Chain A
Amino acid sequence: DAKTTQPNSMESNEEEPVHLPCNHSTISGTDYIHWYRQLPSQGPEYVIHGLTSNVNNRMASLAIAEDRKSSTLILHRATLRDAAVYYCILRLHTGANSKLTFGKGITLSVRP
């Protein structure tokens, strides 16, 4: 499986934008970039995914580099509730091998 690399942790201030980086230099053409987050004492929660173009939804934006070797999850206005572990995951589009393989993720802390 292609791997992703994320910093261990990041701090942000409440109500400010947050940019969470992810490197995936061995990404293949059929890999989608997925982001999940896990709040304390809860299961992971889907955030967003994309292939080549930037994506926006109600939770976040995903900016994908032109060569697809890196991506950035953008939280436009951090709240205390956004404090969580964020996982960047590469996932094949279809088939039995399209499982999610989690790394350690990046722990986001939000300061009031």
Chain B
Amino acid sequence: EAEVAQSPRYKITEKSQAVAFWCDPISGHATLYWYRQILGQGPELLVQFQDESVVDDSQLPKDRFSAERLKGVDSTLKIQPAELGDSAMYLCASSPQQGNNSPLHFGNGTRLTVT
């Protein structure tokens, strides 16, 4: 079964440094999501793409976070500069299309530790 690929699996960085995460969704999935999950809590949506366009980035801290999906396929989430509070799991998910109750398929995430 096709999977959502994320890399790296783990990342340790010092505060004030830049860090980037990569996601390759399931082939043909038009909708891509980035979620952040703090330990002990449920995932929180950061940004949603429909093809290459941002549909929802209302919860993305835009002063330090950026996301792109230039060709409407894979995506990169960047943090610059990283802060201690950014330590979390960053999850990518994709679905065939927006809405219509298409299930989301999640990758296994990138665990970020900021020291």
Q: Which residues of B contact A95 (CB under 8 A)?
A: 98-99
Q: Which residues of A contact B108 (CB under 8 A)?
A: 41-43
Chain B interface (Cβ < 8 Å from any Cβ of A)? 4, 33, 35, 40-45, 48, 50, 55-56, 91, 93, 98-101, 103-109
**Whole-angstrom CA separation of A98 from B4 in the bound complex:** 20
- Find out whether the CB atom of B99 lies under 8 angstroms from the CB atom of A103: no
Chain A interface (Cβ < 8 Å from any Cβ of B)? 32, 34, 36, 41-46, 49, 85, 87, 91-96, 98-105
- How many residue-residue contacts, CB under 8 A, span A and B? 63
- Find out whether the CB atom of A102 lies under 8 angstroms from the CB atom of B44: yes
Q: Which residues of B contact A85 (CB under 8 A)?
A: 42
- Find out whether the CB atom of B101 lies under 8 angstroms from the CB atom of A44: no
- 20 other contacts beyond A42-B108, A43-B108, A96-B98, with CB at 8 A cut-off? A32-B101, A36-B104, A42-B106, A43-B106, A44-B43, A44-B93, A44-B104, A44-B106, A46-B103, A94-B98, A94-B99, A98-B100, A99-B33, A99-B56, A100-B45, A102-B42, A102-B44, A104-B40, A104-B41, A104-B42
- Find out whether the CB atom of A103 lies under 8 angstroms from the CB atom of B42: yes
**Whole-angstrom CA separation of A46 from B103 in the bound complex:** 6
CB distance from A29 to the nearest CB of B (A): 15
Q: Which residues of A contact B98 (CB under 8 A)?
A: 94-96, 98
CB distance from A40 to the nearest CB of B (A): 11
With A43-B108, A99-B48 given, is the CB distance from A92 to B99 under 8 Å? Answer: yes
Q: Which residues of B contact A43 (CB under 8 A)?
A: 4, 91, 93, 106-109
Residue of B nearest to A47 (CB): B103
- Find out whether the CB atom of A94 lies under 8 angstroms from the CB atom of B42: no
CB distance from A66 to the nearest CB of B (A): 21
Interface centre among B99, B105, B107 (most CB of A within 10 A): B99
CB distance from B99 to the nearest CB of A (A): 4
Can you name 25 A-B pairs with beta carbons within 8 Å? A36-B104, A42-B108, A42-B109, A43-B91, A43-B93, A43-B109, A44-B43, A44-B91, A44-B104, A44-B106, A46-B104, A46-B105, A87-B42, A92-B99, A95-B98, A95-B99, A96-B48, A96-B99, A98-B98, A98-B101, A99-B48, A100-B45, A100-B104, A101-B45, A104-B42
